Amino acid sequence: MGLDTGLLGLFTTQLLANSVYSVLAPFFPKVAREKGVSGELVGLVFSGYPIAAFVVSPLMGVLVTKIGRKRVFLTGAGLVATSMFSFGSLPLLDGPLFIVAGLFTRFLQGIGGAAIGTSSFAVIASNYCDRMEIVLGIQNSVAGVGMLVGPIIGSALYTLGGFGCIFYTYGTVFLCILPCAYYLLPADKAYEEPESKVKIHRLICNRVLPTQTIVTDGLVVVMAMLAITFLEPVLSDHLHSFDLSTATVGLLFAVPTASYAVAVVILSKLPEEIDRKVWMLTGLLTGAAAMVLVGPWSGTGLPPSLAVVSVGLVILGAAIGACVCKWYAVPVLPDMVKAAVQKLPRADPEHVSDATSGILSAYFFLGEISGPPLAGFLRDWTGFENAAACIAAAMVAYCVIFGFVASAFKALNTCRPSTWETNRNSPLLGTENEMVATKDKFFYYIEEDE
């Protein structure tokens, strides 16, 4: 597939946005520590991004419809650029003002990130629907590259000019690419309101995604994201305890991202015969082992060495890849969109695709919101090594719950009569029954009378 100019503008902006997201973790905790800020407050600042993104994402879906994908995308990029200049000036502040400004800036970044993410998927769904899987694959790769190079570029910029140099440079680059992105992005297509008045999110949850997928599988992603974001506010201080320079610490933050990217590529090539729940369960257990090594926890008997911590970071990135790849890998989202469109034939396909993406993304935000403040609290209360071990214990505990609940759902679905047997003789007043065929079963779509 040739990369057209629209995708070039889209992916360049996304690469920078993901790079910006990952560049904060290695350097901000050191500045906050010098200001005397507690671990809980540092974690709260890191949670500002996913909190804001989680809250405004539904609004972004509406704005994409009302004012256009292109405008929402460029507005989000402008907000991210503004947040970069604000981050660069944080060392000039002290006391409560430092925390308030940091939290506000992180909120601003989260709103911008949500705008970029929501409008990006809308652009792809609208303009590249015939090759959505390929484009999403490239987008995921670009996001991974951005997360990987962020700490590396940040380390170089920190060496050149310190904390402010990192964010002033990023902000300037973002402002420079905005006119280019505006020119390159495709013009908005008509995005009409759906003919049906049905509640798409409710119908997707009730009729498209099984309850087990919504609850048990989704919480695997929450646990995985909790583990990886747990490290954001506290890993920097832990690595500094090994007498490493700030630039070297920044480079080490790229390690789990690199192993995550490698794991996703490998797992996406493996046959689909193995149940994805097995991969997710394996990922959680492996991630728990990695969290024990990142300390390392004293119960392992391992010495507190940089080599052990590095091995733990490599394993953790690969483990998160196993959890996330089998939930949100390239084939999963397009397949869910196709299933949703089949079962909701009167709904606008673009609205269905946006709603499905929002449901899946919510789990990522929930994990990202929980991890940083929990990390700050546990680290200040019991130390980094024990805090990481607590997260590992929680991951193992959920593995047990996950296996038990999955087995219970499987037994229930085996014994429960099908929708056809339950509803074929039921009178449905004021409704219209439409039977939609899929690969191996039939589903009923019950639409409200218009």
Distance between CA atoms of 18 and 365, rounded to whole angstroms? 15
Give me the residues paired with residue 445 across strands.
434
Signed CA dihedral, 179, 183, 185, 187: sign only? positive
Return the closest-CA partner of residue 111 out of 85, 77, 142. 77
β-partners of residue 443 are 436
Can you give the pLDDT at residue 336? Answer: 52
Nearest to 27 by CA among 125, 142, 184, 169: 169
Integer CA distances (angstroms), 70 to 58, 74, 146, 314, in order: 17, 6, 21, 38
Q: For residue 303, give both structure tokens.
A: 């010495």
In this structure, the answer to whether residues 292 and 429 fall within a common structural domain is: no
Query: How many folded domains does the chain comprise?
Result: 3
Q: Is residue 37 part of a domain?
A: yes
pLDDT tens string, the chain, 450 residues long: the values are 445 777 788 888 888 888 888 888 888 888 888 888 888 888 888 888 888 888 887 787 777 777 777 888 888 888 998 999 999 999 998 888 999 999 999 999 989 888 888 788 777 777 777 776 677 767 777 877 888 888 888 899 999 989 999 999 988 988 888 888 778 877 766 555 544 444 545 545 555 455 455 566 667 778 888 888 888 888 988 998 898 888 888 889 888 888 887 887 777 676 666 666 777 788 889 999 999 999 899 888 888 899 999 999 999 988 887 776 654 444 445 445 555 566 666 656 555 555 555 566 667 778 888 888 888 888 888 999 999 999 999 999 988 887 776 665 555 555 544 433 344 344 433 333 333 333 333 333 333 433
Beta-carbon count within 10 A of 348 CB:
18
- C-alpha distances (whole Å) from 411 to each of 269, 276, 401, 407, 415 are 30, 18, 15, 6, 6
- How far does CA 392 lie from the centroid of its chain? 20
In-domain check, residue 168: yes
Instruction: Kindly state whether residues 213 and 316 are assigned to the same domain.
Output: yes
The contacts of residue 262 (CB under 8 Å, 6+ apart) are 318, 321
- Quote the CA–CA distance of 241 and 251 in Å, as a whole number: 16
d(CA 111, CA 109): 5
Helix (H) or strand (E) run with residue 106 in it: helix 95-127
Cross-strand pairs, 446: 433
Do residues 150 and 285 both lie within one domain?
no
Token pair listed for 349: 């396909």
pLDDT at position 47 is 87
Report how far residue 263's alpha carbon sits from residue 351's, in angstroms, rounded to the nearest whole number.
32
Q: Are residues 346 and 16 in contact, defined by beta-carbon separation less than 8 angstroms?
A: no
Q: Based on the domain organization, do 90 and 210 belong to the same domain? A: no
Instruction: Encode pLDDT of 263-311 as tens digits.
Output: 877 776 766 666 667 777 888 899 999 999 998 998 888 888 999 999 9
Q: Which of 183, 213, 243 is the last residue of a domain?
A: 183
| Residue 345 pLDDT | 61
Are 6 and 138 in contact by the 8 Å Cβ rule? The answer is no
Residue type, 346: R
How much is the pLDDT for 313?
Answer: 93
Domain membership of residue 191 (yes or no) is: no
Residue 21 one-letter amino acid: Y
Neighbours of 406 (CB within 10 A): 17
Examine the domain organization and report whether 237 and 112 are in the same domain: no
**Domain identity same for 403 and 338:** yes
Other CB atoms within 10 Å distance of the CB of residue 195: 10
Contact 446, 431 (CB under 8 A): yes
Query: For the domain that residue 159 is a member of, what is the CATH number?
Result: 1.20.1250.20
Q: Residue 188 falls within a domain, yes or no?
A: no
Number of H helices and E strands in the chain, helices first, is 19, 2
Q: Which residue has the tokens 């990695």?
A: 290
Rg (alpha carbons) of the chain, rounded to whole number: 23
Residue 246 lies in a domain: yes
Q: Examine the domain organization and report whether 216 and 179 are in the same domain.
A: no
Residue 312: the pLDDT is 93
Domain boundaries, position 144? 1-183
The answer to whether residue 190 is domain-embedded is no
C-alpha to C-alpha distance for 62 and 66, rounded to whole angstroms: 6
Domain end position, chosen among 183, 206, 223: 183
Closest to 393 (Cα-Cα) out of 299, 257, 263: 299
Q: Is 427 exposed, middle or buried (0-12, 13-18, 19+ CB in 10 A)?
A: exposed
pTM for the whole thing?
0.72
Same domain, 30 and 118: yes
Same domain for 175 and 209, yes or no, is no
Q: Could you tell me if 384 and 440 lie in one domain?
A: no
Cα dihedral 56→58→64→70 (10° resolution): 40
Which pair of structure tokens corresponds to residue 433?
A: 């029954």
The conformation of residue 434, written as its DSSP 8-state character, comes to: E
Verify that 385 and 427 share a domain, yes or no.
no
Q: Are 52 and 111 in contact (CB under 8 A)?
A: yes
- Do 356 and 207 share a structural domain? yes
Query: pLDDT value at position 446?
Result: 37
Signed CA dihedral, 277, 436, 347, 204: sign only: negative
User: Residue 347 domain-assigned?
Assistant: yes
Q: Kindly state whether residue 10 falls inside one of the protein's structural domains.
A: yes
Going by the DSSP 8-state scheme, the letter that residue 361 receives in this structure is: H
CA distance 129 to 135: 9
pLDDT value of position 40: 82
**303: phi then psi, degrees, rounded to nearest 5:** -70, 150
